Structure 1
Amino acid sequence: MTLPALAADHPPIELARVAFTQLTGEHVERIAPLSRGWGHLSWTVRTASGRYLIKTGIRRPHQCDLFRQVAAQQIAAAGGVTTPLVVAVGDGGGPLQRPCYVQTWIQGTDGSTALARLDTEGTSQFGRALGQALAALHRIPGPRFAEDCAGTVTYPSWQAACTARLQRLVTATENAKALPAPILYAVADRLTALIDGLNGDITPRLTHRDAYLPNTLLLKDSPDAAGLLDWEAAAFYDPVWDFVKLGMWVFDTHPQLRGAFLAGYTAHAALPDGFEERLTVYQGIEYLAAFPYFGAAWPDEAMLDGFRKLLADWMDRHHLAGARS
Structure 2
Amino acid sequence: MTPPPLAADTHPPTELARVEFTALTGERVERIAPISQGWGHLSWTVRTTSGRYLIKTGIRRPQQADLYRQVAAQQIAAGSGVATPIVVAVGTPDGPLQRPCYVQTWIEGADAASVLPRLGPQENDRYASALGRQVAAVHRIPGPRFAEDCAATTTYPTWQAACLSRIGRLAASIEEKAVLPPAVLYAVADRLKTLTDQLGNGIVPRLTHRDLYLPNTLITGEPAGAALLDWEAAAFYDPVWDFVKLGMWVFEPHPALRAPFMAGYTEFEPLPDGFHERLTLYQGIEYLAAFPYFGSAWPDERMLASFRTLLSGWMDAHGLVGARP
Measured against the shorter chain, the TM-score band is over 0.9
Structure 1 position 2, deviation (Å): 2.6
Alignment pair present for 1:228 and 2:228: yes
Structure 1 position 252, deviation (Å): 0.3
CA–CA distance in structure 1, aligned partners of residues 112 and 209 of structure 2: 16
CA–CA distance in structure 2, aligned partners of residues 299 and 274 of structure 1: 35
Structure 1 position 268, deviation (Å): 0.6
Indicate if the aligned counterparts of 1:128 and 1:224 stay in contact, CA closer than 8 A. no
The 1:223–1:122 alpha-carbon spacing in structure 2 relative to 1, beyond 3 Å, is farther
The 1:166–1:100 alpha-carbon spacing in structure 2 relative to 1, beyond 3 Å, is same
The 1:124–1:36 alpha-carbon spacing in structure 2 relative to 1, beyond 3 Å, is closer
Structure 1 position 188, deviation (Å): 0.2
Tell me which amino acid in the other structure corresponds to 1:298: W
Tell me which amino acid in the other structure corresponds to 2:87: V
Alignment pair present for 1:162 and 2:199: no
CA–CA distance in structure 1, aligned partners of residues 188 and 243 of structure 2: 20
Q: Which residue of 1 aligns with 2:176?
A: 175
Tell me which amino acid in the other structure corresponds to 2:274: G
Q: Which residue of 1 aligns with 2:247?
A: 247
Indicate if the aligned counterparts of 2:93 and 2:100 stay in contact, CA closer than 8 A. yes
Tell me which amino acid in the other structure corresponds to 1:47: T
- 1:26-81 CA distance string (max 9 Å, x none): 10000000123100000000001110000000111100000000000000011110
Tell me which amino acid in the other structure corresponds to 1:233: A
The 1:55–1:140 alpha-carbon spacing in structure 2 relative to 1, beyond 3 Å, is same
SS in 2 for 1:61: coil
Structure 1 position 5, deviation (Å): 5.1
Q: Which residue of 2 aligns with 1:289?
A: 289
Q: Which residue of 2 aligns with 1:152?
A: 153
CA–CA distance in structure 2, aligned partners of residues 223 and 289 of structure 1: 37
- 1:174-220 CA distance string (max 9 Å, x none): 11211100000000000000000001110000000000000011114
Tell me which amino acid in the other structure corresponds to 1:249: W
CA–CA distance in structure 2, aligned partners of residues 223 and 288 of structure 1: 39
Indicate if the aligned counterparts of 1:125 and 1:223 stay in contact, CA closer than 8 A. no
Q: Which residue of 1 aligns with 2:216?
A: 215
Tell me which amino acid in the other structure corresponds to 2:206: R
Q: Which residue of 2 aligns with 1:309?
A: 309
- 1:96-141 CA distance string (max 9 Å, x none): 1110000000000121122122101111111100100000000000
The 1:218–1:162 alpha-carbon spacing in structure 2 relative to 1, beyond 3 Å, is same
Indicate if the aligned counterparts of 2:147 and 2:154 stay in contact, CA closer than 8 A. yes
* Structure 1 length-normalised TM: 0.98
Tell me which amino acid in the other structure corresponds to 1:236: F
* Structure 2 length-normalised TM: 0.98
Q: Which residue of 2 aligns with 1:102?
A: 103
Q: Which residue of 2 aligns with 1:88?
A: 89
Indicate if the aligned counterparts of 1:4 and 1:98 stay in contact, CA closer than 8 A. no
Indicate if the aligned counterparts of 2:5 and 2:62 stay in contact, CA closer than 8 A. no
More displaced 10-residue stretch of structure 1: 9-18 or 278-287: 9-18
RMSD between aligned residues: 1.2
Structure 1 position 3, deviation (Å): 1.1
SS in 1 for 2:316: helix
Matches within 5 A, 1:1-325: 1-4=1-4, 6=6, 8-220=9-221, 225-325=225-325
Indicate if the aligned counterparts of 1:287 and 1:307 stay in contact, CA closer than 8 A. yes
CA–CA distance in structure 1, aligned partners of residues 150 and 255 of structure 2: 31
CA–CA distance in structure 1, aligned partners of residues 248 and 166 of structure 2: 20
Structure 1 position 224, deviation (Å): 6.6
SS in 2 for 1:273: coil
SS in 1 for 2:196: helix
SS in 1 for 2:118: coil
Report percent identity of matched pairs: 69
CA–CA distance in structure 2, aligned partners of residues 138 and 113 of structure 1: 26
CA–CA distance in structure 1, aligned partners of residues 112 and 150 of structure 2: 25
CA–CA distance in structure 1, aligned partners of residues 115 and 150 of structure 2: 29
More displaced 10-residue stretch of structure 1: 67-76 or 111-120: 111-120
The 1:40–1:198 alpha-carbon spacing in structure 2 relative to 1, beyond 3 Å, is same
- 1:216-263 CA distance string (max 9 Å, x none): 11114x697111000000000000000000000000000010001000
Structure 1 position 10, deviation (Å): 1.1
The 1:224–1:101 alpha-carbon spacing in structure 2 relative to 1, beyond 3 Å, is closer
Tell me which amino acid in the other structure corresponds to 1:2: T
Q: Can you give the 5+ residue segments of structure 2 that lack an aligned partner in the other structure? A: none
Tell me which amino acid in the other structure corresponds to 2:159: W
